[in-house]
Amino acid sequence: MATYGLFVRFTLRDGAGQAFDELIQETTAGIRAHEPGTLVYACHEVEGSPNERIFFELYADHAAFEEHERQPHTRHFLTERAKYVEKTEVDRLQPYAGKYPAGAEK
């Protein structure tokens, strides 16, 4: 299986944390309900940096990532996030070793 991953760092606008986090709660509900190919979609606050959020995303393959990008809840997030995000950094990952959820082994 050729899993595909992303590491995303969002730098939020001052005071936008709560609204951004609420948007993420809506988005992740859609991901859990409609995206079997999204194996991990983990959102994190960064200790000591209240305006930073880190996402680790792992997909069954690149096609599952593309399906994630087409979903209405993802499209909504991508449109709305501009209100809250000052900067976005994305690293595209090709996993090669580690411990993964069942069904995501390399």
Radius of gyration of the chain measured on its C-alpha atoms = 14
3-state secondary structure of 46: strand
Dist. CA 9–CA 3, nearest whole Å: 20
Backbone angles phi, psi at 43, to 5 degrees: -110, 135
Whole-model pTM above 0.75? yes
Phi first, then psi: give them for residue 102, nearest 5 degrees: -50, 135
**Tell me, what's the pLDDT at 103?**
60
Query: Over its length of 106 residues, how does the chain's per-residue pLDDT go in tens digits?
Result: 589 999 999 999 999 999 999 999 999 999 999 999 999 999 999 999 999 999 999 999 999 999 999 999 999 999 999 999 999 999 999 888 888 777 665 5
pLDDT at 51: 98
Residue 9, beta-bridge partner list? 54, 89
How many whole angstroms separate alpha carbon 103 and alpha carbon 106? 9
